[in-house]
Amino acid sequence: MNRSDFQKLAELRIKEAQILLENNCFEGAYYLAGYAVECALKACIARKTQQFDFPPKRAVVDDMYKHDLLKLINVSGLKSDFEKHEKESNEFAANWGTIKDWSEEIRYNTTVEQKRAIDVLAAITDKDYGILEWLKKSW
């Protein structure tokens, strides 16, 4: 997979999440919305990967394949920009607070409430302070 693939997947997962939300499939909407953020972060990581570069330590490489959004932010090199954004914008910080606990384990949850799915999608797609909009600047 390459950077372009991850960018397309991020956009596709958000589109799918919105369709699921509109059809009252809140569990799937929440699940796929989180994957959109994960794919966007992996696009950021792919952007900084250079052909013929020696790969980083195994622990860093292992973190690239995790579903942990904070670990992916660290590996992507966006940690300082993330922290700056979080301090400067209450709206961005609130959006991050809404999605920070997302995990791929949500796929086993059968009780995601409508409000939770709506809030997560809004936090990710907000045009001014959304997590996905912030990530698109670096992917």
C-alpha–C-alpha distance, residues 94 and 130, integer Å: 10
**Domain tally, the chain:** 1
pLDDT value of position 56: 64
Quote the mean pLDDT of the chain.
Answer: 91
Q: What does the pLDDT look like over 26-63, one tens digit per residue?
A: 999 999 999 999 999 999 988 887 665 656 666 566 66
User: What is the tens place of the pLDDT at every residue in 88-102?
Assistant: 999 999 999 999 999
Neighbours of 7 (CB within 10 A): 20
Residue 17 has what pLDDT? 98
Residue 7: which domain range?
A: 3-136
Please give the pLDDT value at position 102: 92
pLDDT of residue 118: 97
